[in-house]
Amino acid sequence: MNEPFSFRGLCPATHTPMNGDGSVNLAGIGALAAHLSRHGLKTVFICGTTGESSSLTLAERASLSDAWAKIGPEHGVKVVVHVGSNCLADARTLAAHAERNRADAVSMIAPSYFRPRTLEDLVACCETVAGGCPRTPFYYYDIPGMTGISGFPVDAFLETASRRIPNLAGVKYSNPDLDAMRRAASLQGGRFDLPYGIDERYLDALDAGARGGVGSTYNFIPGVLRRLVEAHARGDRGAAEAEQARVPAVVETLARRGYLGAAKALMREIGVPVGPARLPNGNPTKAELEAMLGELDAMGYFSWKD
């Protein structure tokens, strides 16, 4: 019998491969899956923020779910499908689709144009979508920096939501409030899974009890995060802090050129082409890319990224 799914270790939030014209390139998924598996990354989080989900059509998101359902197992990779949308009916449709594809878990951000006003409204949004995949572990995706949804501490959410969502497994937690995370980790005998999603603070999250992480930087600095986790596990604080310090340096270098487009350009430079970012995200110019690569080289990136 298979063990219940949970986030353990590092789970990359994957890019959506695209062609030069901005169309989705399903053929690019195999190389991406092989790259991640080769670095020991055995779970992926698809169609999330890094995957530009809000810029994809419903049909494109379903096709990505289909493709990963086939390609993931071929590489020994578990697949978590993000289904969140401003349209709850679309999100529920994608959740049901993911369950038919035997996704290992489903996650969602709440609608963020018309935002839930109360905790009860937020839980109702999640309940609606989770009901589309009743046999699949469900994770709310808390990322206030992108959605603007705040004021609902994760422990309060879990207390309320667990009474209404039978398949609630936890929260994909990209929120700087680690005190609330600590409180949530002790709820109901520690039953909830709280993978952390702010890469620049992953060491702090490990100190707070995180057992897994979901992040975009795992795609292009997998060695840094792996060594950070290993150093933390053996109690080597100095080594863990040194590795953690590399993460914001890389993130800031990319962010100056538009983070998602720059990250996808960097993937091409390390041999894993995932195409350009789709508007409204932009892509670095040739000069910007050359400057970015020069800054990364100066900090030693190409010697320690793996």
Pairing of strands 9-12, 138-142: unpaired
Cα separations (Å) of 210 from 121, 193, 251? 27, 9, 21
Q: Residue 194 contacts by C-beta under 8 Å, 6 or more apart in sequence?
A: 154, 170, 171, 173, 181, 184, 185, 209, 210, 211
Distance CA 26, CA 239 (A): 39
202 has catalytic annotation: no
Tokens of 274: 């995932």
Q: Which residue of the set 172, 173, 196, 202 is catalytic?
A: 172
172 has catalytic annotation: yes
Cα separations (Å) of 262 from 117, 176, 195, 278? 35, 24, 25, 12
- Dihedral of CA atoms 193, 199, 201, 205 in degrees, nearest 10, equals 20
Q: Which residue of the set 141, 173, 202, 301 is catalytic?
A: 141
Q: Give 168's strand partners.
A: 138
Distance CA 190, CA 30 (A): 36
Distance CA 295, CA 213 (A): 27
How many CB atoms are closer than 10 A to CB 149? Answer: 18
Q: How many whole angstroms from its chain centre is CA 148? A: 18
- Enzyme catalytic residues: 141, 172
